[in-house]
Structure 1
Amino acid sequence: MNADPSPAPRLDPALGAVELTRQLCDIPSVSGDERAIADAVEAVLRERAPHLSVTRDGDTIIARTELGRERRVAIAGHLDTVPINDNLPVRDELDAATGETMIRGRGTVDMKAGVAVQLLLAVELAEPAVDLTWIWYDHEEVASDLSGLGRAMRHHPRLFAADFAILGEPSNGTIEGGCNGTLRARVTMHGRRAHSARSWMGVNAIQRAGALLDRLARYEAERIVVDGLEYREGLNAVRIEGGVAGNVIPDRCSFEVNYRFAPSRSTDEAERVVRDFFSDADEVEIVDLAPGARPGLDAPLARRFVEAVGVEPNAKFGWTDVARFSALGIPAVNFGPGDPLLAHADDERVPVSQIEFTERALRAWLQASEA
Structure 2
Amino acid sequence: MINVRSRGFAVPFLQRLIGADTCNPPGNEHGLSLLLQETLQELGIASTITAVEEGRSNLEAVIAGSGSRKLMFCGHLDTVSPWSAAAGRYPPHGAVIEGNRMYGRGTSDMKSGLAAMLLAAASLHQDGIRLAGDLLFLATAGEEVDSCGARLYAEQHRHDLPLLDGLVIGEPTGSRVAAGHKGALWLRISLFGRSAHGSMPQLGLNAVEGMMELIALLHRHALEWQAADPVLGSSSLSVNRIVGGVQTNVVPDYCSIDVDIRTVPPLRHGPLLQEIEDKLQEIQLLHPEYRYQVEQLLDRSVVYTDPGQRLITAALEVVAQRGDKEESTGSEEDKGSLGRSVSSEAEVQGVPYYTDGSVLHDNGRLPVLIYGPGDPRLAHQPDEWVDIDAYLDSISFYRELAIRFLGTVQE
* 1:154-165 correspondence runs (5 A): 154-160=155-161, 161-165=163-167
Deviation at 1:103, TM superposition (A): 0.9
RMSD value over aligned CA atoms?
Answer: 2.4
Which residue in the other structure is 2:331 paired with?
none
Write the mapping of 1:303-322 to structure 2, written as runs, cut at 5 A. Answer: 303-310=313-320, 311-322=346-357
**Letter of the structure 2 residue corresponding to residue 131 of structure 1:** D
Q: Tell me if structure 2 keeps the 8 A contact 1:166–1:332.
A: yes
CA contact (8 A) 2:96 2:102 kept: yes
CA 1:223–1:353 in structure 2 vs 1: closer, same or farther (change >3 Å)?
farther
CA shift for structure 1 position 275: 3.0
Q: Residue 270 and residue 46 in structure 1: after superposition, are their counterparts in 2 closer, same or farther (change >3 A)?
A: farther
Displacement of 1:273 in angstroms is 4.5
Kept after mapping to 2: 8 A contact 1:261/1:270: no
Of residues 291, 310, 329 in structure 1, which corresponds to 2:301?
A: 291
Distance 1:13 1:46 in 2: 17
Is the CA contact (8 Å cut-off) linking 1:264 and 1:294 kept in structure 2?
Answer: no
Tell me the equivalent position of 1:49.
Answer: 44
Output the CA distance in 1 between the equivalents of 2:308 and 2:360: 16
Deviations, residues 80-102 of structure 1 (Å, cap 9, x unaligned) = 111223422111224xxxxxx11
Hey, what's the Cα distance between the residues in 1 that align with 2:248 and 2:115? 53
Note if 1:222 corresponds to 2:216.
no
Deviation at 1:63, TM superposition (A): 0.9
> In the superposition, relative to structure 1, how do residues 260 and 278 fare at CA in structure 2: closer, same or farther (>3 Å)?
farther
Relative to its length, the structure with more helix (as a share) is 2
How far apart in 1 are the matches of 2:190 and 2:358? 30
- Label 1:69 to 1:207 Cα distance change in 2 as closer, same or farther (>3 A): same
Residue number in structure 1 paired with 2:394: 358
CA distance in 2, matches of 1:369, 1:258: 36
Q: Matched residues, percent identical?
A: 27
Q: Aligned to 2:78, what secondary structure does the other structure show?
A: coil
Please tell me the residue identity of whatever aligns with 2:255: C
CA distance in 2, matches of 1:60, 1:188: 35
Give the alignment's TM-score, normalised by structure 2: 0.78
Q: Could you tell me how far 1:158 is from its partner in structure 2?
A: 4.8
Provide, for residues 228-274 of structure 1, a one-character-per-residue CA deviation record: whole Å limited to 9, x for no partner.
52422111111111113322111221111111111543331332343
**CA distance, structure 1, for counterparts of residue 277 and residue 319 of structure 2:** 42
1:140 aligns with 2:143: yes
> Secondary structure at the residue paired with 1:346?
coil
Are 2:178 and 2:351, in contact at CA under 8 Å, matched by a contact in 1? Answer: yes
Question: 2:64 touches 2:133 (CA, 8 Å); kept in 1?
Answer: no
How far apart, CA to CA, are the structure 2 residues paired with 1:317 and 1:198? Answer: 47
Structure 2 counterpart SS, 1:30:
coil
Structure 2 residue aligned with 1:203:
205
Task: Report the alpha carbon displacement of residue 289 of structure 1 after superposing the two structures with TM.
Answer: 1.6
How far did residue 369 of structure 1 move?
Answer: 7.6
Q: Distance in 2 between matches of 1:20 and 1:263?
A: 40
Cα deviation, residue 108, structure 1: 0.2
Amino acid at match of 2:389: S
Query: After superposition, where does 1:87-166 map in structure 2 within 5 Å?
Result: 87-94=92-99, 101-126=100-125, 127-144=130-147, 147-160=148-161, 161-166=163-168
Deviation for aligned residue 1:44: 1.7
> Which structure's relative contact order is higher, taking Cα pairs within 8 Å and 6+ residues apart?
2
What code does the residue aligned with 1:358 have? S
DSSP-derived class of the 2:199 partner: helix
Residues 352 and 138 from structure 1, CA distance in 2 versus in 1: closer, same or farther, beyond 3 angstroms? same
- The alpha-carbon deviation at position 125 of structure 1 amounts to 0.7
* Number of aligned positions between the proteins: 348
